[in-house]
Amino acid sequence: MPERLVRGPVAALAALAAPLAVCAVLLPFRAGLANAAVALVLMVVVVAAAALGRRPAGVLAALSATVWFDFFFTVPYERLDITGGTDVTTAVTLLAVGLAVSQLAARARRLKVVAITDADQLAQIHHAARLARTATSPDAVVECVRVQLVGLLRLRGCRFQYGTLMGHAPRLESDGTLAWGRRTWDVDRLGMPDEDIELRVFGCGRFQGRFLLRPTPGHVPSLQARLVAVTLADQAGAALQPAWRSTAPAS
């Protein structure tokens, strides 16, 4: 099933309906099935809902599974009432484990997204570093990093200026914070300023130039993305360092 079909209302409806459908299939065999076995089957449904949908889908599936387990498989049948102590324990366990599985599935999905993001960003850094070592022209590295910055930070635009520090633009620092004048701009709370932001580039300890970043309104790059941007700028600086050496006067 395409991923877009297991999100939002569709996922919620599927999470609510799937336990009922499974109970309907198992109902003719109720006399010969232990309630613990039914609960295990329903737990598989909850795990599937949590894995394919978001956390709310898993929670809804756990609640639905518990309700229909009570309704169809505990005495008195077809009433939301449980009289047997063992059945109460089974129902409570089904609900508790279902909720826990939903939470774990959501956490695993977040970690997977972070891992994929980290791998992609690491690949970008590796590509820029390799290009900095092998490119015959530093301009090629600068252009590569410029394009990477646009995608990484979702910028409206980005350009590079060689060896100039005109104006007092907001500045992306090496620790990922944003400095504007003498104060630190709270990116997470205030978002990115509606100004070109400079990302300075150094090579061999000398200022080589700066990228001027034009943010997209409403988008707030994460601290991790901003730190990667600084690392990419360092690769441009490494490529510009030989260019500075070749033009520096002989001592």
Q: How much is the pLDDT for 112?
A: 61
Q: How confident is the model at residue 150 (pLDDT cuts 50, 70, 90)?
A: very high
Q: How confident is the model at residue 7 (pLDDT cuts 50, 70, 90)?
A: low
CATH number reported for the structural domain that contains residue 143 in this entry = 3.30.450
Residues 233 and 173 in one domain: yes
CB atoms within 10 A of CB 186: 10
Residues 63 and 165 in one domain: no
Round to whole Å and give the CA distance between 41 and 44: 5
Q: Which of 25-39, 90-104, 171-185 has the lowest mean pLDDT?
A: 90-104
Q: Considering the domain boundaries, does residue 181 fall inside one?
A: yes
Q: How much is the pLDDT for 5?
A: 37
Q: Considering the domain boundaries, does residue 119 fall inside one?
A: no
Residues 9 and 67 in one domain: yes
Q: How confident is the model at residue 245 (pLDDT cuts 50, 70, 90)?
A: very low
Mean pLDDT for all residues in the chain: 82
Question: How many domains, in total, are found in the chain?
Answer: 2
Residue 76, domain extent: 3-112
SS (H, E, C) 95-134: HHHHHHHHHHHHHHHHHHHHHHHHHHHHHHHHHHHHHHHH
pLDDT in tens, 103-144: 777 667 666 666 656 788 888 888 898 898 888 889 999 999
Residues 23 and 103 in one domain: yes
pLDDT in tens, 154-169: 999 999 998 877 778 8
DSSP code string of 45-112: HHHHHHHHS-HHHHHHHHHHHHHHHHHHHSSSTTSS----HHHHHHHHHHHHHHHHHHHHHHHHHHHH
Q: Considering the domain boundaries, does residue 93 fall inside one?
A: yes
Of 50, 81, 112, the residue at which a domain comes to its end is 112
Q: Which residue reads 């009289």 in tokens? A: 83
For the cut 50, the answer to whether the pLDDT of residue 229 exceeds it is: yes
Q: How much is the pLDDT for 212?
A: 95
Q: Considering the domain boundaries, does residue 127 fall inside one?
A: no
Residues 182 and 83 in one domain: no
Q: Which of 53-67, 146-160, 179-193 has the lowest mean pLDDT?
A: 53-67
Q: How much is the pLDDT for 23?
A: 92
